């Protein structure tokens, strides 16, 4: 089978130093055998979008140690964006495959985090002519203690097109908006105010021209340790 006969999947996550970070490359299991991707390439980018390293990954590998790869190829880079570009056979995967990941701060007594790696699919163009914010994602917050602060991590996986995002937070009916523009492959963490006019943060919404890699993050104060790492949910496209 040629590469033109296979389907593509583009996914991304973020890694910070000090964390164990294991990625399950194929979450689905078959009754007779483990399903495999046709190919997989991993690229690491710093916050400004600079390519740090591009690594071909054995598609037969079950678990990828992202923390070890970052330590070996991009030590001291701070937070990085890891982009997974996979190809797969639709006859093997009736629906698209997806990656899951395990995240835990070394030496911490807090529970580990297990999350679905954010798939941006084929919605990331090289260049765009559209200007409307036509991709909407949202996340609802449960009431939590004052010992947490929240933010969103956003990355632009386009090769050439800048990514514009409108980040809106909701507090008992009140709405506050912040706008962010990211260059190709760049990423940023945007802090969310925990309260506004005495009302707690209830929801965050991200609107963008095309789909960005995005996660909601919760950090324990004052240590900054991750206690939430979850993708937003697309409700209109």
CB count in 10 Å sphere of residue 59: 16
pLDDT band at 120 (very low <50, low <70, confident <90, very high): confident
Domain 3-119 annotated CATH 2.60.40: yes
Q: How would you classify the pairing of strands 39-45 and 51-57?
A: antiparallel
- 134 Cα distance to chain centroid: 19
pLDDT at 11 over 70: yes
**pLDDT the model gives residue 228:** 93
To the nearest whole number, what is the mean pLDDT of the chain? 84
Least confident of 101-110, 127-136, 145-154: 127-136
Least confident of 16-30, 88-102, 156-170, 175-189: 88-102
pLDDT band at 125 (very low <50, low <70, confident <90, very high): very low
pLDDT tens digits, one per residue of 62-79: 889 999 999 999 998 899
pLDDT at 128 over 90: no
pLDDT at 35 over 90: no
pLDDT tens digits, one per residue of 136-159: 899 999 876 667 899 999 999 988
Question: What is the assigned CATH class of domain 135-236?
Answer: mainly beta
Sequence-separated contacts (24+) of 91-96 with Cβ below 8 Å: 92/35, 92/36, 93/28, 93/35, 96/7, 96/9, 96/121
Considering the chain, what percentage of its residues have pLDDT values greater than 90? 53
**pLDDT the model gives residue 90:** 63
**pLDDT the model gives residue 124:** 47
The answer to whether the CB of 113 falls within 8 A of the CB of 104 is: yes
Least confident of 27-41, 94-108, 160-174: 27-41
Domain boundaries along the sequence of the chain: 3-119, 135-236
The answer to whether the CB of 72 falls within 8 A of the CB of 87 is: no
pLDDT band at 102 (very low <50, low <70, confident <90, very high): very high
Tokens of 145: 């203690």
If one compares 113 and 135, the residue with the highest pLDDT of the two is 113
Neighbour order of strands in the sheet with 148-155: 187-192, 148-155, 213-220, 226-231
Give the whole-angstrom CA distance, residue 108 versus residue 64: 21
pLDDT at 59 over 90: no
If one compares 172 and 147, the residue with the highest pLDDT of the two is 172
**pLDDT the model gives residue 180:** 95
How does DSSP classify residue 148? E
Tokens of 232: 């937003």
How does DSSP classify residue 67? H
């Amino acid at each position: 089978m040629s590469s033109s006969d296979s389907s593509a999947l583009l996914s991304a996550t973020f890694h910070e130093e000090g964390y164990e970070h294991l990625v399950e490359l194929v979450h689905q299991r078959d009754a007779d055998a483990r399903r495999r991707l046709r190919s997989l390439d991993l690229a690491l980018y710093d916050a400004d979008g600079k390519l740090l390293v591009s690594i071909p990954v054995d598609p037969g590998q079950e678990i990828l140690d992202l923390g070890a790869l970052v330590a070996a190829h991009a030590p001291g880079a701070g937070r990085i964006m890891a982009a997974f570009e996979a190809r797969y056979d639709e006859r093997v995967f009736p629906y698209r495959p997806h990656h899951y990941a395990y995240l835990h701060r070394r030496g911490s007594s807090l529970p580990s985090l297990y999350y679905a790696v954010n798939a941006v699919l084929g919605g990331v163009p090289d260049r765009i002519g559209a200007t409307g914010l036509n991709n909407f994602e949202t996340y609802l917050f449960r009431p939590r203690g004052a010992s947490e602060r929240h933010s969103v991590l956003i990355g632009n996986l386009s090769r050439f097109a800048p990514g514009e995002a409108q980040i809106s937070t909701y507090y008992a009916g009140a709405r506050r908006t912040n706008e962010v523009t990211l260059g190709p492959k760049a990423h940023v963490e945007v802090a969310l105010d925990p309260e506004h006019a005495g009302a707690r943060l209830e929801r965050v919404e991200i609107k963008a021209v095309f789909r960005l890699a995005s996660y909601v993050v919760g950090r324990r104060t004052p240590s900054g340790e991750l206690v939430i790492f979850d993708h937003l949910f697309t409700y209109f496209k």
